[in-house]
Chains A and B, each alone.
Chain A
Amino acid sequence: MLGIGLYGLSVKKNAIRILFAIEIIVNAANLNFAAFTRYMNPPQVSGQVIVFYSIAAAAMEAAVGLALILVAFRLNSTIDVRRLNKLKG
């Protein structure tokens, strides 16, 4: 899933799809953490804490990212990241 997310991240030009790709990557990482806490001996609970934290952090980041996309759209009338490359104006 990490590979899928990275591919999407580098190829897609629709800003929202890029967000999809980011979420996919984060989820892949979460899955990894959860799996490792289960396989360790004895099973730690800190892995689950990490996943809990990561879900919350990803949620916040998605919210702010979406707000950014909305504002960018209002100002530029496009969400094509090839055209969103001017820092000012």
Chain B
Amino acid sequence: MVFCQLGGGCELPLISIPPDLTFIVLAAVTIIGSIMALQAKELIYGAVALAVSFIGIAGFFVFLDAPYLAMLQIAIYVGAIVVLILFTIMLVRREATDELTDRPERGEGAVGVWLAGLIAVAISGVAALAGPNLPAEPQPASLPISDLGPTLALQYPIPLIILALLMSAALLGAMALAKLEK
């Protein structure tokens, strides 16, 4: 089936990669990608870094026994959204983006760092408190993909319909916005 499992690492021909290594590599790719997405000099490099970060997240999904979600993530996020972002960047003319120095002004950098630090502390606190309840080893069972469809349709039909309505609304909204500037 899929090469990389959470419990047992990656199996390539005759080589086996321990799961910790895959986790570290994936985490590095994702985090470095997201940092570069925000800090890159040119917007387009940032968009590419964002795409790399998304691919890292897709790798995580595979690692967590959700290969279907991983493929969806790549197809939708990297395939469609990154394309939209690139497209928008290219239509917003260069003069507007070049002059911006994104270096934080006086108070803003501190606010950002405080927010990030606060969240980090909060999450670690919650994790530490809930520590004894977390299962130490990941469960060996994996979810068959055919579970996703019936669950979506039978157990959660209302969110599905709401999603469809939301999509139509988004589509109409985007079209209306496009007409607005004419």
Direct contact between the two chains A and B in their complex (CB within 8 A): yes
Could you list which residues of chain A lie within 8 angstroms of chain B, going by C-beta atoms?
Answer: 1-14, 16-17, 19-21, 23-24, 27, 30-31, 34-35, 37-43, 45-46, 48-49, 51-53, 55-64, 66-71, 73-75, 77-80
> Is B100 within 8 A of A45, CB to CB?
no
User: Smallest CB–CB gap between B47 and chain A, Å?
Assistant: 8
Q: Can you list 26 contacts pairing A with B, beta carbon distance less than 8 Å? A: A3-B119, A7-B116, A8-B38, A10-B112, A11-B108, A16-B85, A16-B92, A17-B43, A20-B47, A20-B50, A23-B50, A27-B77, A34-B60, A34-B66, A37-B66, A38-B66, A41-B139, A42-B139, A52-B148, A53-B159, A56-B167, A59-B77, A60-B170, A66-B84, A67-B178, A71-B181
Residues of A within 8 A of B170 (CB): 60-61, 63-64
Contact partner of B35 (CB less than 8 A), chosen from A4, A23, A38, A42, is A4
Residues of B within 8 A of A42 (CB): 139, 141
User: Smallest CB–CB gap between B43 and chain A, Å?
Assistant: 6
Chain A residue nearest to B54 (CB atoms) is: A27
> Is A41 within 8 A of B135, CB to CB?
yes
**Are A45 and B151 also in contact (CB < 8 A) when A14-B97, A20-B37, A23-B50 are?**
yes
> Is A30 within 8 A of B57, CB to CB?
yes
Bound together, the chains give a CA A23 to CA B65 distance in angstroms of 23
User: Smallest CB–CB gap between B86 and chain A, Å?
Assistant: 10
Residues of A within 8 A of B152 (CB): 49, 52
| 9 A-B pairs with least C-beta separation | A3-B116, A60-B170, A8-B38, A7-B112, A67-B177, A11-B112, A10-B112, A45-B147, A38-B64
